[in-house]
Amino acid sequence: MKLHQIDRRWIFLLIFLGVSLPLIMPIGFDIEVTKNVQSVYDLVENSQPGDKILLSFDFDPASKPELQPMAVAIINHAMRKNLKIYCVALWPMGVSLADEIYQIQKEKLIYGENFINLGYKAGGLVSIQAMGKNFREVFPKDSNGDNITDFPIMNDVNSLKDFNFAISFSAGTPGIKEWIMVAGDKFRLPIAGGATAVSTPGFLPYINEQKQLYGLIGGLKAAAEYELLVSTPGTATAGMDAQSMAHLIIILFIILSNVSWYFLQNDKKRGVK
């Protein structure tokens, strides 16, 4: 009876602790790395020092908790491989999200030499089409308004064909599909992606059936998988730990409530008050 009548505030407190503590001190529960995430990792890992990668920030702050961790993990990976990182955005707020990562990592990056934020360009399909023909014409200046001719990283970059591959972090349209249709199908640029969990199933046919997508990081769990592969636990790992702890606490109370109900029913049958 005492278990059946437990004050719900204790449950709320345990849920609060179960969620907040892993966010402060990640536990690092075992995570199985899926094939699609491994494919993105291999694309970066098999690159050679000096290779050029194009990262498109096609999302806004509403999708930041899912997509920003995977962008951080990939940039960390690219830095280890000594790759040249070019950031663009098909969504207006994507510019500031890319810059946010740079501000955190700027001690390890040399702006204009191994990293550049070229800013936002409207138009979706049309803009990607233009990048394929004349990249410098689409982005004559970087996000700060400086001429790209001032930066060594822009030497020998004239079209999409000068990049080794592109990764779109996509929360909708324009995003991964547009990069596949134009950059991938027309200009033969290898495309990988990062997507929110809810939109991930819609991209799977591009991997399994059409072979147009080289890999996909889908949702927070997949972002945590990539963090595991690069051995840099971050907000995705902490988020999955918090989610797992909350689920464990909920399951525990479901079991306890059913045990309590079972004994109460037995007591009623035996006439115990």
Give CA separation, 168 vs 10, 36, 68, 94, in Å.
Answer: 43, 15, 12, 11
Query: What is the structure's pLDDT at 1?
Result: 63
Structure tokens at 144: 């700060």
Average pLDDT of 74-96?
A: 97
Q: Helices marked H in the chain — which ranges? A: 8-24, 35-45, 64-80, 94-105, 125-133, 135-138, 176-178, 200-208, 219-229, 235-269
- Other Cβ atoms closer than 10 A to 68: 23
Name the amino acid, one letter, at 230. Answer: V
**For residue 265, pLDDT beyond 80:** no
Whole-number pLDDT of residue 23: 77
Residue that wins the pLDDT comparison between 31 and 219:
219
Cα–Cα distance between 64 and 75 in angstroms, integer?
15
Indicate whether 258 pLDDT > 60.
yes
Band (pLDDT 50/70/90 cuts) for residue 92 is very high
Rounded Cα gap, residues 135 and 229, in angstroms: 32
What residues does 58 pair with on adjacent strands? 170
Tokens of 245: 């702890």
With a threshold of 0.95, does the pTM exceed it? Answer: no
* Average pLDDT of span 175-196: 96
Q: Stretch 148-153: mean pLDDT, rounded? A: 96
68 pLDDT higher than 60 = yes
77 and 111 Cβ atoms separated by less than 8 Å: no
